[in-house]
Amino acid sequence: MGLDNRDYLRDESRRYSGGFSGGGGGIAASSSPMCRNLLIVTIGVFLAQIFSTASPSLEEIQAEKNREITELQRLHQQHGDDILADQIQRLEQTPVEQLARNQPKRSIVQDWLQLDTSKVLSGQIWRLLTCAFCHDRDDATHILFNMLFLWWFGRTLESMYGSREFLWFYLTAALAASLAYVVLDLATGDWVPMIGASGAVMAVTMLFAVHFPRQIIYLFFVIPVEIRWIVLFYVVYDLHPVLLQLSGDPSASGVAHAAHLGGLAFGYFYARNPFRLDPTMDRVRIWWKSKRRGLRVVGTTAPAESRRSGKLAEQMDAILKKIGEQGEASLTAAERKTLERASRELRKRRD
């Protein structure tokens, strides 16, 4: 599905690049270092997937052959299909050396980074996060659309929340998507490796849609649709096959629907709650450094400046929600001054 964000570039970027309503400075949507860095890293990993390849060993091919035979035997016992019996017989009689001649090369980088539930359970927990930076090396549209969505919607969100907060949001969304996928794997026993940033990108899209539900998106570069209906479509589209899997009907779509739902759920939860990730991560980092140095960590009362920043963030959320629902013209003079103050605060943090 192609999406054209020409209205987004024309309307929303004007709102954030020229300054909030009421004049004075502003948050530049074009200044999106974190979105840019995420794109660079993801594209770099994609290129590494393409060029870091190796042929599978005979032992790996034999193991895959045995796994496929076991799966065919299971299906044959369930359905009693003679065609399956013939496939089992042919596969059993085919030498491993002959199978090796037809085996495509595998990506070494992808082997180390993709989400594999069995390997996560054995301790390789980095895969919960690194899989979001891998994409299908045989299908360029996989990475293309994920990165387009990230660039279109992520720049505005980064301008609203700040670069560090946006980074933590993106990484936490990727983690939530991976955990949702692992949970479904454990529930169904269908442990198929997963790659892709779609779960994190779905969270970005959901967060944008909550703030700007009436933003027009052009399907196939032609059909105007409000983004809230796009997100609703994805929820239904991804929920149906997950329910089928839970009912015992295996999915053969090749799409990680559970990861999509995990990202969508996290994006909605984040949008509807006032918590922020960056301060939490700072506290965790301070606690970890103190523990490593043998220091005792004592809780303190938040300084007045931190309390003011938290209150300003809550006011910003309410104002942005109002803009998304009623338009910029609905803002009062006091709300416009609050946006100007928030703009100045963000500029100070960047400086």
Q: Are residues 79 and 137 part of one domain?
A: no
Arithmetic mean of pLDDT, 261-274: 95
Residue 148 lies in a domain: yes
109 pLDDT band (50/70/90 cuts)?
very high
Q: Are residues 199 and 256 part of one domain?
A: yes
42-87 pLDDT, tens per residue?
A: 999 999 999 998 877 777 777 877 888 887 777 777 777 677 777 8
pLDDT, position 295: 62
Q: Are residues 46 and 145 part of one domain?
A: yes
Residue 256 lies in a domain: yes
- Which residues have CB under 8 Å from 151's CB, separation 6+? 35, 39
Q: Are residues 194 and 100 part of one domain?
A: no
Q: Are residues 242 and 159 part of one domain?
A: yes
- Number of independent structural domains in the chain: 2
Q: Are residues 99 and 7 part of one domain?
A: no
Q: Which one has a higher pLDDT value, 158 or 281?
A: 158
The DSSP bridge partners found for residue 53 are: 107
Residue 349 lies in a domain: no
Q: Are residues 216 and 266 part of one domain?
A: yes
Arithmetic mean of pLDDT, 291-315: 60
Q: Are residues 169 and 35 part of one domain?
A: yes
Full domain range(s) for residue 160: 3-52+129-275
Query: Which pTM value belongs to this model?
Result: 0.70
Q: Are residues 138 and 27 part of one domain?
A: yes
Q: Are residues 35 and 71 part of one domain?
A: no
Using an 8 Å Cβ cutoff, are 214 and 159 in contact? no
Q: Which one has a higher pLDDT value, 127 or 218?
A: 127
Residue 37 lies in a domain: yes
Q: Are residues 180 and 47 part of one domain?
A: yes
Q: Are residues 240 and 91 part of one domain?
A: no
Residue 212 lies in a domain: yes
Question: Which of 241, 275, 309 delimits the end of a domain?
Answer: 275
- CB neighbourhood size of 132 (10 A): 30
Residue 135 lies in a domain: yes
Return the amino acid letter for 225.
V
pLDDT score of 183 more than 80? yes
Residue 78 lies in a domain: yes
Residue 281 lies in a domain: no
Question: Which of 206, 241, 275 delimits the end of a domain?
Answer: 275
